[in-house]
Structure 1
């Protein structure tokens, strides 16, 4: 499989940078395919970039899907304006692939701008490039990044974080958000907006990583009663889940249940219930429900309660979230 630059028919030549800046994407064995392909698609659609897919040593690599990628250059020979380090499912839990750290460090040393997608942040962190800086990565691995590299200020809810010449992004598809932000930095908001419309994606995605499934990002509780409580909330977010009722349902005192939530989930029963209800309200808004209807059916009750919960957890108003979702459906 070959990923190479292509001219874009969608943007006028006037909107393209000149001279053509080189953007290098570093591929390696086990790399996540979408982390490579999505940024290349964004920059290729924008036009005006010289795109180079390179690898440590210059040989072909095999992505985590088993897909073979034919690269164009040995990373040690490449000098690029912008360097992008994709992630891999193995990076948080295994040694870095051979030659990856040296290749990434060499590319970064000569670049004006360096970015990572998803767990590619672990490569930048290992190279010491994120020390003293803010960064993000896939929500599933944010805590591990913070523990392993305490000199980094990890922002687990961000879609992407720019700190100086370094930009890191959240998981997988967030590479599109990051790439659009870099295109906007180079070519301006109109050019980035045209790319987003062509690819039928958000120009600026509403909210952060907290918008993604609550059960999926909640560690599995060790205590049976806590698991039962979580299942009850997930099964019917709109029901009455006041702490006394929830505790009685699982045979614990309110104090015991609260202690379990704190110890295993780092939240309170009320906090968890609100998070699940926000997720339910989000799904209702995506399905076309009104703000008032989403508030009522999710169990949050009033428009004002829904508004405060959305701002607290997602950083966006319910009406804005609904409008952006509708807009993305028709573009």
Structure 2
């Protein structure tokens, strides 16, 4: 049985507690206690969250947990000397140490991210980059594994990280069952972007939203502006003008972004050949998709796939 500990501080984000559900449901799905789950704090007792709801914690004692996670404080206060010392000990004695959302700042304050790749909520990535130049911040990631250190992006990404830990420990079938038990529509792998192409477009009218939804469902087709305009019941010229006014980009650019997002997700999952991904997402051929990937992501689909191989370090 593996011992897991979540370290919380006053004003911690409640979503951190939800991330422990991955371990809880791994126990339930497996029908045995795979994980011994603990919540710790520097002094023990009740610790108030950012929502003023308090949780009971045990005081720091034995640092020899298999996995130690650290939650961030919403008030942006630095981790105390005691918390930093515990994290340093954990990094020495534990198999892995993970930060949930802005908990990455506590790891950075303890010097545990120096020279490592790490991610954090995109709103605070610049702050981390400025204050901790020794950290290789990559904000456009759901979570990153660098050696024994795991870091995650904001909020729900913490759950993606802990499900990723379950997968690392006991395999993909159990991780999928945990995701299904938690009623997650899709479990995101570590390298996935924090941003959604559809969310970033945010049209204001139902007509443009309808066209975007149609495009997302039919990426495999050779979609044209005329096709999307017909769905929106607008002339191609009026559609293009309205689309750009509402989303800030052209229909062609938006369509490429949707295709790139879908292709990247399929490559993460690793169940399809590069040719199949190119066909299913509407790129048509692998060369056209490779050029788009190089331009936007700075690497080829094949290189990205190697990043998501089961034994890889993100």
TM (norm. structure 2) is 0.66
Alignment counterpart, residue 45 of structure 2, candidates 23, 37, 59 = 59
Q: Distance in 2 between matches of 1:125 and 1:282?
A: 44
Deviation at 1:82, TM superposition (A): 0.6
Structure-to-structure mapping, 1:218-257, within 5 angstroms: 235=204
CA spacing shift, 1:114–1:309, aligned 2, 3 Å: same
Which residue of structure 2 lines up, in the alignment, with residue 38 of structure 1? Answer: 18
1:33-74 Cα deviation digits (max 9, x unpaired): 111x22211101001101111110222200111001011x21
Alignment counterpart, residue 187 of structure 1, candidates 166, 170, 181 = 170
* 1:133–1:153 CA contact under 8 A, matched in 2: yes
Alignment counterpart, residue 154 of structure 2, candidates 171, 194, 213 = 171
Q: Distance in 2 between matches of 1:305 and 1:34?
A: 32
Deviation at 1:75, TM superposition (A): 1.8
Structure-to-structure mapping, 1:132-143, within 5 angstroms: 132-143=115-126
1:126-179 Cα deviation digits (max 9, x unpaired): 111010010000010011111111011111110001111111000011011101
1:273-322 Cα deviation digits (max 9, x unpaired): xxxxxxx6997269x854449983656445x97235642799447967xx
Structure-to-structure mapping, 1:1-331, within 5 angstroms: 20-35=1-16, 37-47=17-27, 48-71=34-57, 73-91=58-76, 94-96=77-79, 99-201=82-184, 202-204=186-188, 207-211=192-196, 213-214=199-200, 235=204, 284=213, 290-291=218-219, 292=223, 296=228, 300-301=250-251, 306-307=255-256, 310-311=259-260, 315-316=264-265
Q: Distance in 2 between matches of 1:142 and 1:281?
A: 33
Q: Distance in 1 between matches of 2:88 and 2:41?
A: 13
CA spacing shift, 1:281–1:52, aligned 2, 3 Å: farther
CA spacing shift, 1:85–1:307, aligned 2, 3 Å: same
- For the residue of structure 1 that corresponds to 2:89, the secondary structure is helix
- For the residue of structure 1 that corresponds to 2:165, the secondary structure is helix
* 2:97–2:148 CA contact under 8 A, matched in 1: yes
* 1:208–1:315 CA contact under 8 A, matched in 2: no
CA spacing shift, 1:281–1:187, aligned 2, 3 Å: farther
Deviation at 1:110, TM superposition (A): 1.8
- RMSD over aligned CA atoms reads 3.4
Unaligned residue ranges in structure 1 (runs of 5+): 1-19, 216-232, 240-279, 321-331
CA spacing shift, 1:194–1:293, aligned 2, 3 Å: farther
Q: Distance in 2 between matches of 1:207 and 1:21?
A: 27
- For the residue of structure 2 that corresponds to 1:193, the secondary structure is helix
- For the residue of structure 2 that corresponds to 1:77, the secondary structure is coil
1:94-145 Cα deviation digits (max 9, x unpaired): 3335733233333333211011110000000111101001000001001111
- For the residue of structure 2 that corresponds to 1:157, the secondary structure is coil
Unaligned residue ranges in structure 2 (runs of 5+): 28-33, 233-242, 245-249, 267-276, 282-314
- For the residue of structure 1 that corresponds to 2:98, the secondary structure is strand
CA spacing shift, 1:147–1:314, aligned 2, 3 Å: farther
Q: Distance in 2 between matches of 1:128 and 1:181?
A: 24
1:8-48 Cα deviation digits (max 9, x unpaired): xxxxxxxxxxxx0101110111110111x222111010011
Q: Distance in 1 between matches of 2:43 and 2:187?
A: 36
- For the residue of structure 2 that corresponds to 1:38, the secondary structure is helix
